[in-house]
């Protein structure tokens, strides 16, 4: 079976559909490679940052270390929280800046905002993978339907219904469905895999935010 010959012999509409599916496939694979690398880097840097965070007894040292882990969501959350604590410490007197519940609420909002920003970063372009997984098979099916219609039209023109006369047209039509599935299956698998990993990151970020709030309350809370 010569796939390239089937594509070149296909009608213009089917060729256009195959070109659209090729775009979906190439772009989705680009996202898959980039997203896999980004999530892997985030996980590795988060582990290193948490080691520094748990071993250090000085938040200033952790702040300096967090700057060296730009891909870590926890490091970004810590930077946002530390900056908010520093701002509140300078703003309020006496130095026990977090002595009131309102100040802790401000810190909690800063941590939540930083967490949401990290989640949005990790979920970027995920919608395209979902779209590719759900739309590509239907685009391919449309190409197949159009190709079969074209094959039957040729049968009507040639007045011949032999298997030899229709097999080529049907094969050209079915190639669109095959390409649609080829684009959709990796996108669906990658989307589900990345979504599961992002949920794990969200849980870890929530736990870290609670831990940071607890530390802030112990350090600055009312005795």
Q: Which two tokens stand for residue 119?
A: 């989640």
pLDDT of 85 > 90? The answer is no
Indicate the pTM of the whole model.
Answer: 0.82
pLDDT of 168 > 70? The answer is no
pLDDT digits (tens, 9 = 90+) for 111-123: 999 999 999 999 9
Look at residue 127 in the predicted model and tell me its pLDDT: 94
The residue length of the chain stands at 223
Q: Assign 45 to helix, strand or coil.
A: helix
Mean residue pLDDT of the chain comes to 84
pLDDT of 223 > 50? The answer is no
Burial tier of 177 (Cβ tally within 10 Å: 0-12, 13-18, 19+) = buried
Q: Which two tokens stand for residue 146?
A: 């159009």
Confidence band for 73, pLDDT divided at 50, 70 and 90: very high
Contact 188, 31 (CB under 8 A): no
Which range marks the domain in which residue 195 is found? 3-220
Domain tally, the chain? 1
Q: What are phi and psi of 207, to 5 degrees?
A: -65, -40
């Amino acid at each position: 079976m010569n796939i390239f010959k089937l594509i070149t012999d296909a009608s213009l509409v089917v060729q256009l559909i195959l070109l659209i599916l090729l775009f979906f496939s190439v772009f989705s694979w680009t996202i898959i490679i980039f997203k896999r690398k980004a999530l892997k880097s985030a996980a590795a840097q988060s582990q290193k940052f948490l080691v520094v965070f748990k071993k250090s007894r000085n938040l200033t040292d952790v702040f300096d270390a967090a700057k060296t882990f730009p891909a870590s969501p926890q490091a970004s959350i810590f930077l946002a929280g530390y900056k908010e604590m520093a701002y509140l410490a300078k703003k309020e007197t006496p130095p026990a800046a977090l002595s009131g519940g309102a100040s802790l609420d401000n810190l909690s909002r800063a941590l939540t905002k930083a967490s949401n920003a990290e989640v949005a970063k990790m979920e970027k372009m995920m919608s395209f993978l979902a779209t590719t997984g759900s739309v590509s098979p239907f685009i391919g099916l449309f190409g197949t339907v159009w190709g079969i219609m074209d094959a039957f039209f040729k049968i009507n023109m040639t007045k011949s219904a032999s298997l030899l006369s229709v097999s080529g047209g049907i094969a050209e039509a079915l190639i669109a469905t095959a390409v649609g599935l080829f684009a959709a299956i990796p996108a669906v698998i990658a989307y589900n895999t990345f979504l599961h990993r992002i949920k794990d990151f969200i849980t870890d970020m929530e736990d870290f935010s609670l831990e940071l709030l607890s530390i802030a309350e112990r350090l600055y809370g009312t005795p």
